[in-house]
Amino acid sequence: MSTIKIIAKKAGVSPTTVANVLHGNFSKVSPATREKVQGIIQEEKYAPNMGAIILAHSNSRIIGVIMFMEPRRDETVLEDPFSSAILGAMEREIRDNGYFVMLHTTSDENEVLRLSKAWKLDGLVLVWVPGDICRVISSSIDTPLVYIDCYFTDNKHIYHNIGLQDQRGGYEITRYLLSMGHTSIAFLANNPLFSGGDPARFNGCQEAFREQGLSLAKDRYIPLPKGRHEREILYSQLADEGSPYTALVFSADYYAAEAILFLQGTGIDVPSQVSVTGFDDNIFSRMIRPRLTTVHQDSSEKGRLAISMLMKLIRKEPVGEANVQLPIHLEIRDSVRRIPVS
């Protein structure tokens, strides 16, 4: 409840003087009054009314963190170990920079616009926004804005995005599989609705095949169904004796783990009967047996980089490359068997 005015009264000075002390404009305040005022600020436990600050100069020190929900899983988006890693890293960085985090989950671009207007957001991080929605948002908002893992469909705007070497990831894992003798693979894409980096990853797979003078047909790109039960039916079919595939390339550790556990339950062994690879290298890949061969990415780093880029945008500093692709590397573990040359 203590306001600048009250503090000023207690100190016997004017509100302006208190404000100057608060803002570190010490050149405009004599050391004596400064100390006096500082003392009172301390004991009154003064905290500025952020509402008044917003009103006074239209910026709030709030960073909006918007997680677009893909309808891909039954749980909430935030329960994904991937999003929590990113979120954890961002919260920390934002706080360290003296800003506040407003967290929001949505699939509606208008909500983003409303939010940024209403709260005079100083910055915005948008995670997993479908490409066409990015365009809408970027063209109707002037708040500094960084995307994470978004894929754009036009070049009319500068999109600041922290992405991943998706194609390279697909390439690396496929090259490895080929070197282990796997030429019949299926690519299991996360979701038909929001494709994200899946097409790029699949391109990488195809690239690796071409490099060997082989080819990977388009119909090896198989979107995973939304329901768990439907997915399990698919896993069965793909790993069935009659199936042509020797390896299943998943675009997420989560589903790779789900498949392995399910197949083991039906008596099918990984990797002796079918090989499986993942993507992300999250905690699941290390916890499951066989340990999952996968493509590693540093999700916390994504969060950190996003905020550091956003801060530069806010401070109008140069940001370097606008569309960053974080490096990946292959993490070879135990879920792929070598196929003997026959």
Partner DNA sequence: CTGTTAGCGCATTCAA
Partner DNA sequence: TTGAATGCGCTAACAG
Amino acid present at 324: V
Site for DNA in 12-71 (CB under 7 A): 12-17, 19-20, 22-23, 27-30, 32-34, 48-49, 51-53, 55-57
CA distance 199 to 185: 16
Number of residues that bind DNA (CB under 7 A): 30
Interacting residue with a copy of itself among 19, 53, 222, 314 (CB under 8 A)? 53
| Nearest Cα residue to 251 out of 320, 286, 203, 213 | 203
DSSP 33-78: HHHHHHHHHHHHT----HHHHHHHHS--SEEEEEEEPPTTSSS-GG
Tokens of 235: 């896993």
Site for a copy of itself in 118-177 (CB under 8 A): 118-120
Indicate the SS3 state at residue 295. Answer: strand
Interacting residue with a copy of itself among 4, 7, 13, 89 (CB under 8 A)? 89
> Could you say which of a copy of itself, DNA, none residue 285 binds, taking C-beta under 5 to 8 angstroms by partner kind?
none
Farthest CA pair distance, the chain: 93
> Could you say which of a copy of itself, DNA, none residue 5 binds, taking C-beta under 5 to 8 angstroms by partner kind?
DNA
Closest approach, Cβ 55 to a copy of itself, in A, equals 4
Tokens of 37: 């005022």
The b-or-e profile of 296-313 (16+ CB within 10 A means b, else e) is bbbbbebbbbbbebbbbb
Closest approach, Cβ 115 to a copy of itself, in A, equals 8
Binding region for DNA (CB under 7 A): 1, 3-5, 8, 12-17, 19-20, 22-23, 27-30, 32-34, 48-49, 51-53, 55-57
Binding region for a copy of itself (CB under 8 A): 45, 47-55, 58, 60, 62, 65, 75-81, 83-85, 87-89, 91-92, 95, 100-105, 113-114, 117-120, 257, 261, 283-284, 286-289, 300
